[in-house]
Structure 1
Amino acid sequence: MSGEHSRSLSPFHRDPSPPSPEPPDDLVLTLDDETEDLLDSQAELVLVGRVLESKSYRQQAVTDALVFAWNLIREIQITPMAHHQFIFQFNHLLDVQNVLDGGPWAVTANLLILEPWNTTDRWDFTHVDFWVHFKGIPPELLHLELGFQLRKKLGSPKSVMLIQGSRASSPQAFLRCRISMDIRKPLKDTL
Structure 2
Amino acid sequence: MGYKALYTRLMQLWKPGTALELVDLGHGCYLAKFNSLADLERVVTRGPWLVQDHYLTVRQWFPTFRPDNDHIVKTMAWVRLPGLPLQYYNDDLLTTFASGIGKPPWKDTLIVRLLGKTMGYKALYTRLMQLWKPGAALELVDLGHGCYLAKFSSLADLERVVTRGPWLVQDHYLTVRQWFPTFRPDNDHIVKTMAWVRLPGLPLQYYNDDLLTTFATGIGKPVKINSNTSLASHALYALMCVEIDLSQPLVPLVSTDEEVFKVQYEGLHVICLNCGRYGHKTVQCQFDALAEPFIPVEIVEPENYMEVSSVVVPTPVVPRVSAPMPAILFGGMVGGDTSTLHPASPAAF
Question: What is the identity, as a one-letter code, of the residue corresponding to 1:134?
Answer: L
- Where structure 1 has 5 or more consecutive residues not aligned to the other structure, the ranges are 7-25
| Pair member with larger Rg | 2
Out of 118, 141, 144, the position equivalent to 2:206 is 141
User: What residue in structure 2 maps to residue 21 of structure 1?
Assistant: none
Structure having the larger proportion of residues in strand:
1
**Aligned-partner SS, 2:128:** helix
User: What residue in structure 1 maps to residue 246 of structure 2?
Assistant: 183
- Alpha-carbon RMSD across the aligned residues, in angstroms, is 3.5
Out of 152, 158, 170, the position equivalent to 2:223 is 158
- Where structure 2 has 5 or more consecutive residues not aligned to the other structure, the ranges are 1-7, 16-36, 49-57, 59-74, 77-102, 255-349
Report the Cα offset of residue 62 of structure 1: 1.2
Conserved 8 A contact 1:61-1:107: no
Out of 20, 41, 49, the position equivalent to 2:104 is 41
Out of 156, 161, 167, the position equivalent to 1:94 is 156
Distance 1:163 1:28, change over 3 A: farther
Separation in 2, partners of 1:160, 1:176: 7
Conserved 8 A contact 2:173-2:195: no
Separation in 1, partners of 2:243, 2:40: 25
**Aligned-partner SS, 1:118:** coil
Report the Cα offset of residue 29 of structure 1: 8.4
Separation in 2, partners of 1:126, 1:27: 22
User: What residue in structure 2 maps to residue 81 of structure 1?
Assistant: 143
Conserved 8 A contact 2:194-2:242: yes
Mapping of residues 161-172 of structure 1, within 5 Å? 161-164=226-229
Higher relative contact order, structure no. (Cα contacts within 8 Å, ≥ 6 residues apart): 1
Report the Cα offset of residue 63 of structure 1: 0.8
Separation in 2, partners of 1:58, 1:160: 33
Mapping of residues 103-142 of structure 1, within 5 Å? 103-121=165-183, 124-142=189-207
Aligned pair count reads 167
1:19-54 deviations in Å (ceiling 9; x for gaps): xxxxxxx9998422236x85x824231101123344
Distance 1:143 1:29, change over 3 A: farther
